[in-house]
């Protein structure tokens, strides 16, 4: 793994001096209108973006209020230097002046060089203070309801693999290196089952705890207990979408054996690879089932080994009649129901690959995602790609489940 590179050299001081003059305005710090405040706030945030792109720590710190805010800003800058964003821009959506303070709402767009083909956007809530006629950032936090970012959770370590960037807080570098190795191995494994064009690079986040993982997702920790990893990203077939983020639950992941850890990284990498073909029309049984099928591909694991919960249901005469619904995949629901949903989706994809061939499974996946909406998507793709109607597809799956798990 290549080590994180040191801080980049700072450019000349002429630009920095001009920046301070711009932010300071009149030395006396006289009256400002709401519009003037908005203009000065935008100038401060533009300067922060320039500092990140230039790798200029001094200019970044110059935008932060003295004291604890500047100390926090120093930690954040160190983390951002490990991240190496090539773009960092705030789009201010509202400014509410309150004397020598201003409450700001903004959308931050950033891009990681070599991984993001389009900016990632996050909503931020900032507070700025005017001191001696100059405006400084005293707080930069997630907007209400928005998730936290890893660089806010403490000192961040970056390990770069051949095809991966693993970012961790509160984790030893050796563990991050192990994850990077598995992520690097996952990329060619996924290419074998999904040879279509995709970036072939992974960003993996490894926070310090389950609670910290939930904060990155903007969810409750209890909903992700026992879930080893989650992939987040933008659905759709756009040519340029930001790279997905694979967020690992360090507590559940650590309980897995070697095969389990490998499976998790391949499963999540499959979501990254298929993102452009996955839309609102794609049911979870197909997207999760395909990712599981990819993870188990070539492993030699039998259906009874992979689907123990569903096998038990079949033995007890409670085999499912319909493919899993999206609701069956709720993390906060019954864990047995969740397991059966994943197992049922995997068996559906396995059946299609066996009975129609792996290329047809990929064609079916794409055809479902290309449909205008969820209603009728599976039915249309089944007719077009597999030559059967939806009722026959589901009937074959029911028979396959009983045959494989009885």
* Predicted confidence (pLDDT) per residue in 290-304, tens digit: 999 999 999 999 999
What is the model's pLDDT at position 11?
Answer: 34
Residues of the chain with pLDDT under 70: 1-35, 234-243
What is the model's pLDDT at position 9?
Answer: 32
Q: What Rg value do the Cα atoms of the chain yield, rounded?
A: 25
**182 phi, psi to nearest 5 deg:** -70, -35
Structure tokens at 98: 């309150």
* Predicted confidence (pLDDT) per residue in 362-385, tens digit: 999 999 999 999 999 999 999 999
Class of domain 147-276: alpha beta
Beta strand residue intervals within 289-396, DSSP E: none
Residues sharing a CB contact under 8 Å with residue 278, sequence separation 6 or more, in sequence order: 235, 271, 287, 369
Instruction: Give me the residue spans of the domains in the chain.
Output: 13-146, 147-276, 279-406
What is the model's pLDDT at position 197?
Answer: 86
Q: Would residue 131 be called left, alpha or beta, if left means φ above 0 and alpha means ψ between -120 and 50 degrees?
A: beta
What is the model's pLDDT at position 210?
Answer: 96
What is the model's pLDDT at position 14?
Answer: 33
Structure tokens at 191: 């290419």
Average pLDDT, the chain: 89
Residue 349, CB half-sphere, CA atoms under 13 Å: how many? 26
Distance CA 191, CA 17 (A): 50
Structural contact between residues 344 and 401, judged by C-beta atoms closer than 8 angstroms: yes
SS3 content of the chain, % helix, strand, coil (to 5): 50, 20, 30
Which residues sit opposite 227 in a β-bridge? Answer: none
* Predicted confidence (pLDDT) per residue in 9-32, tens digit: 333 333 333 333 334 443 334 445
DSSP 8-state class, residue 227? -
| C-alpha triplet 203, 265, 405: angle, nearest 5° | 150
The four Cα atoms 216, 253, 170, 48 give a dihedral, to 10 degrees, of: -30
- Report the interhelical angle of 173-193 vs 284-296 (nearest 10°): 100
What is the model's pLDDT at position 22?
Answer: 37
What is the model's pLDDT at position 113?
Answer: 83
The CATH number fitting domain 13-146, selected from 3.90.226.10, 3.10.450.50, 3.50.30.30, 3.30.70.141: 3.10.450.50
Residues sharing a CB contact under 8 Å with residue 225, sequence separation 6 or more, in sequence order: 210, 249, 251, 252
What is the model's pLDDT at position 198?
Answer: 87
What 365-369 contacts at long range (C-beta under 8 Å, 24+ apart), as own/partner pairs, is 365/274, 365/277, 365/282, 365/286, 365/290, 366/277, 368/281, 368/282, 368/283, 368/286, 369/237, 369/277, 369/278, 369/279, 369/281, 369/282
Distance CA 307, CA 253 (A): 20
Please name which of 137, 138, 139, 130 lies closest in space to residue 26, comparing C-alpha atoms.
Answer: 130
**245 phi, psi to nearest 5 deg:** -115, 125
Tell me the whole-structure pTM to 2 decimals.
0.87
């Amino acid at each position: 793994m290549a080590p994180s590179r040191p801080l980049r050299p700072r450019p000349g001081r002429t630009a920095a001096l001009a920046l301070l003059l711009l932010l300071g305005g009149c030395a006396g710090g006289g009256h400002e209108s709401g519009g003037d405040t908005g203009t000065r706030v935008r100038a401060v945030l533009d300067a922060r973006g320039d500092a990140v792109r230039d790798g200029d720590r001094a200019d970044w710190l110059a935008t932060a209020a003295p004291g604890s805010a500047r100390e926090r800003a120093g930690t954040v800058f160190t983390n951002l230097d490990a991240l190496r964003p090539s773009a960092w821009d705030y789009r201010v959506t509202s400014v509410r002046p309150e004397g020598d303070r201003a409450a700001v709402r903004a959308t931050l767009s950033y891009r990681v060089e070599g991984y993001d083909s389009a900016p990632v956007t996050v909503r931020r809530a900032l507070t700025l203070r005017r001191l001696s006629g100059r405006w400084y950032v005293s707080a930069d936090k997630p907007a209400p309801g928005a998730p936290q970012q890893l660089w806010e959770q403490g000192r961040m370590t970056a390990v770069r693999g051949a095809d991966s960037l693993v970012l961790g807080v509160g984790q030893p570098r050796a563990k991050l290196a192990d994850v990077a190795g598995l992520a690097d191995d996952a990329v060619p494994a996924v290419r074998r089952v999904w040879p279509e064009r995709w970036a072939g690079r992974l960003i993996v986040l490894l926070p310090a705890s389950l609670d910290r993982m939930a904060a990155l997702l903007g969810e409750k920790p209890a909903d992700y207990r026992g879930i080893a990893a989650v992939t987040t990203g933008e659905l759709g077939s756009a040519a340029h979408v930001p790279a997905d983020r694979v967020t690992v639950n360090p507590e559940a992941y650590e309980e897995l054996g070697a095969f389990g850890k490998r499976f998790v990284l391949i499963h999540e990498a499959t979501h990254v690879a298929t993102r452009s073909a996955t839309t609102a029309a794609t049911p979870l049984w197909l997207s999760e089932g395909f990712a599981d099928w990819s993870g188990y591909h070539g492993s030699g694991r039998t259906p009874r080994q992979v689907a123990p919960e569903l096998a038990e249901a079949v033995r007890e005469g409670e085999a499912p009649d319909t493919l899993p619904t999206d609701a069956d995949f709720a993390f906060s629901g019954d864990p047995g129901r969740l397991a059966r949903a994943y197992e049922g989706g995997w068996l559906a994809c396995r059946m299609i690959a066996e009975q129609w061939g792996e290329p047809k499974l990929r064609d079916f996946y794409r055809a479902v995602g290309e449909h205008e909406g969820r209603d009728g998507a599976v039915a249309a793709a089944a007719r077009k790609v597999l030559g059967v109607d939806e009722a026959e597809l589901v009937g074959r799956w029911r028979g396959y489940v009983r045959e494989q798990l009885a």
